[in-house]
A = this chain, B = another copy of it.
Amino acid sequence: MTATPFPVSEIVASRRPHRKDAARNYDALLTAAREAFAEHGAEASLEDIARRAGVGIGTLYRNFPTRRDLFETVYADEVNALCRAAVEVADREPWQALTSWLNRFTGYMVTKRAVREALDDESDIFMACRESMYAAGGPLLERAQKAGVARADMDFGDLLRMVAGITATAFEDDAQRDRVLAIALDGVRTGR
């Protein structure tokens, strides 16, 4: 994958330092931050993130001068992966392509929820990510609608928020989550 079809993918790459040790630390910080945000939400301690990454707090601040910078980068990274996933499912049946992408979307929501708390919805990066994501996933819904397997009176934003909400909730087990999600998607599906 040499081309980058979505502008967001540039964000992570552009920040990444060139020196070997610096790049390693940068990656470790991103991984640690993703974990910490998933675990503690937006309130995650930056010092804890640095500790997890096995790096001094100074190194964290050099790479990400503000808490916001760290958020944005983690978020963009995640969106990027999601966009790539949309390409991968494109060859399946319309309904199946849509639902399996939504499944991948579930994982991304963990990070998303933390970012929602911290990032302004009007933030440039947030809007760029949104755009990328709609460009990647939107066609999947449109295809299903044209094939007559998804109701026409809703848009991609409605669908995303529905799935987002459901997957962000705590369930007794994965089976229950899948069951509930399936019921909700039954409301989206047409022709049985």
Contact = CB atoms under 8 A, between A and B. Distances in A.
Interface of A: 41, 43, 116, 121, 151, 154, 157-158, 161-162, 164-172, 176, 179-180, 183-188
Contact of A187 (B121, B169, B184): B184
B168 A180 contact: no
Contact of A180 (B41, B162, B176, B186): B162
Interface of A is mostly: helix
Given A43-B43, A183-B187, A169 B164 contact: yes
Contact of A157 (B121, B168, B176): B176
A154 B157 CA distance: 26
A184 B148 CA distance: 18
